[in-house]
Structure formats: C-alpha cells, structure tokens
Amino acid sequence: MSNISFNKFYRKFNILSLILIVISLVFLFFKGLNYGVDFKGGTLIELRTTDKTNNISLIRDSFNQMNLGDVSVKKFGNETDFIVKFEKQNSNDPEFIKNIQNKLSSSIGDVDFRRVENVGPKVSSELLKSGIIAISLSLAAMLLYIWIRFEWQFSLGAILAIFHDVIITLGIFSIFSLEINLSIVAAVLTIVGYSMNDTVVIFDRVRENLRKYSDVKIFDLTNISINETLSRTIITSVTTLLALFSIYLFGGEILKGFSLAMILGVIFGTYSSIYIANPILVALNVSQRTIVKEEKD
C-alpha cells in the first residue's frame, strides 16, 4: 500500500480548485458557452468537397453570399470535410437545403452534404431546458441517494466535488469555445455519475476506518483511506481513460467533443474525490461520533 501524504496538500489544492472555479465562472458568466445548433437553433451542414484546393475562407465566402446570418466554417477531420453552421434555419422551405447545395456546387465544385441538422428556435430552447432539467435532476437524485446512504457531511462533500467537476469542465469548454451540444449533456451526466462513483469508494473506506480507529484524527484518517483505495482509484481511472482516449482518437469527429468532455471529467473527478470531498470531511470535523450517533437513531 502506498503512503503518500495527500493531506499535506489539502490547503494548496483547495486554493487551486477555488481559483479554477472562479476562472471558470468568470468565463461562463462573461463569455458564456458556445452552444451548437441543438441549443441555439440554426443549421449545421457537414460537407465533403471533391476539390482538394477548397479551404475554409473559400467556403465561408460562398456561404456569406447567401445571406444566411452568422456563418462559421470549421475543418472536420479529413482535409475535404468541413462543418458549416449558420443562424438561419428554414426547414419549412423544402428547397432550402437543395438551393444551398446548388449554389455551393456552382462556386466551389461538387459538394456532398453528409449531414444536415436544422433546428428551429422553439425546439432548441426546449432541448436546452430539458438538458438543464436532466442535469439538475440527476444531481438531486444523487444527493438524495448519498443522503440516504451516508451522513450529511459526506453528502455535502460529494456534491461539492461534483459541482467542482461540472463547473470546471464547462469552464474549459467556455475558455476554448468548444461546442456544447446534446452529447455534451450526456457526457456531463456521465461525469456526474463517475465522480460520484469515485467519491463513494473513498467515503465508504473513510466510514469503515472511522469505526475501526477511534483515536485517529479525521485529517489523518482521510489520508489513510485515500492511500488504501489509491491503487483502485488509479487503475479504474486508467482503464476508463484508455477507453475514452480510444474513442477520442479513433471514434470519428462526431464523438470528439463528447469524449473530450468525459476525459476532462474523469481527470477532475478523480482529483476532486481526493482533494475536494475529503477536505470537506476534515473541515466539518467528522469523527467516530458522527457515524455512531447516526447509527443509533
């Protein structure tokens, strides 16, 4: 078993986390998130050109001539593949997409529309609402579960750890203007589950050790528990990250954002179960009496 003094760095890492959270919140508040068409409405076209000399500015120019509102063009994997997003969505005009394709073909040569997503303003606001509800509901459900299974000090620690992970992951998405779409919501929910999972494993051990040692202070007790579960924490993070990196690198462009969010979430989730959840137990001065009293009730 390892014997690393994690607890020596509680304070330092808490300050670091606090700084990261503040930075994330500032970005989320002032810069906001880069919502994809799912949540903002508009049109997304994934296209493949036959002419290899086509570049982003050429394609952007062609689209700009069509009066489609704000146009953004990005490379998407292959050299010939691009993602184009614009504000206008007019799915009611059946010729809308066809006309764009015709105009585009005449200016930059044959193009193949591999994917078209067209989301109206009503649907996008509903999707955003249901995404927010889903994340809040899952947080509430986890809180409820952990509240039933553990004492309130533990639930508070676990929930703060989760908030930490979600805020920082979203903060990174905001800082780098990465796109938030439906699959990112799924990723955030999975992060919530994973982070909770990681915290619960350490907390279970803390509680077991609280029963075992009555004379060890919580400050050292959390450290013992972290060390005892450390190799599991590392191995599971490694296998999960192996799977996620495999999706990120080989799973195609569509899953890139999703797997990136998950990778960030797993890293921060592992970190927060050690450096957020445990210091909170210390701060709340959890002792053997905390759990014994609870069990007598």
Partner 1 sequence: MLYFSKLRIISVIVFTVIFSYFAFSNFVKFDDKFFSKNINLGLDLQGGSYLLLEIDNRPVITQKLQAKIIELKRYFKEKQITLKNFSLKGDTISFETTDNEIENVINILNDKESDVNTYYPTYKSHEFDVLEDGNLFSLNYSRYGLVLLKNSSLDQAIEIVRRRVDEVGTNEPNILKRGNDRILVELPGLDDPNRIKSLLGKTANLTFQFISQNNEESFGTEKLSFEDGSRDAIVSKRIILSGDNLVDAKPTMNSQTNETVVSFSLDRVGAKKFGKATSTGVGKQLAIVLDGKIISAPSVREPIIGGSGQISGDFTFQSATDLALLLRSGALPAPLNIIEERTVGPDLGQDSIDAGILSLFIGFLLVILFMIYKYRAFGLIANLALVSNLFLLIGILTLFEATLTLPGIAGIILTVGMAVDANVLIFERIKEETKNEKNPIIAFDAGYTKSRTTILDANITTLIAAFILFFMGSGPVKGFSVTLGVGILTTLFSVYFIARLLTSLYVVKNKDKEQLL
Tell me how far CA of residue 187 lies from CA of 123, 182, 218, in angstroms. Answer: 21, 9, 34
Residue 211 CB partners (closer than 8 Å, separation 6+) = 288, 291
Nearer to partner 1, 48 or 60 (CB): 48
Only segment of 11-19, 65-73, 130-138, 273-281 that touches partner 1 (CB under 8 A): 130-138
Residues 44-63 that bind partner 1 (CB under 8 A): 46
Residue with tokens 């210091």: 279
Tell me how far CA of residue 100 lies from CA of 13, 71, 296, in angstroms. Answer: 52, 13, 71
Per DSSP, the three-state class of 1 is coil
- The separation between CA 74 and the C-alpha centre of its own chain, rounded to angstroms, equals 22
Nearer to partner 1, 27 or 199 (CB): 199
Per DSSP, the three-state class of 11 is helix
Q: Which token pair is 169?
A: 């992951």
Among the listed residues 186, 216, 283, 284, the single contact to partner 1 using CB under 8 A: 186
Residue by residue, DSSP assigns 50-72 as S-TT--HHHHHHHHHTT--SSEE
Site string (82-111) toward partner 1, x via CB under 8 A: ---------xx-xx-xx-------------
Only segment of 55-63, 66-74, 251-259, 276-284 that touches partner 1 (CB under 8 A): 251-259
Only segment of 25-33, 114-122, 163-171, 289-297 that touches partner 1 (CB under 8 A): 114-122
Residues 191-210 that bind partner 1 (CB under 8 A): 192-194, 196-198, 200-201, 204-205
Residue 244 binds to partner 1 (criterion: CB under 8 A): yes
Measured from the CB of residue 123, what is the shortest distance to partner 1 in angstroms?
5
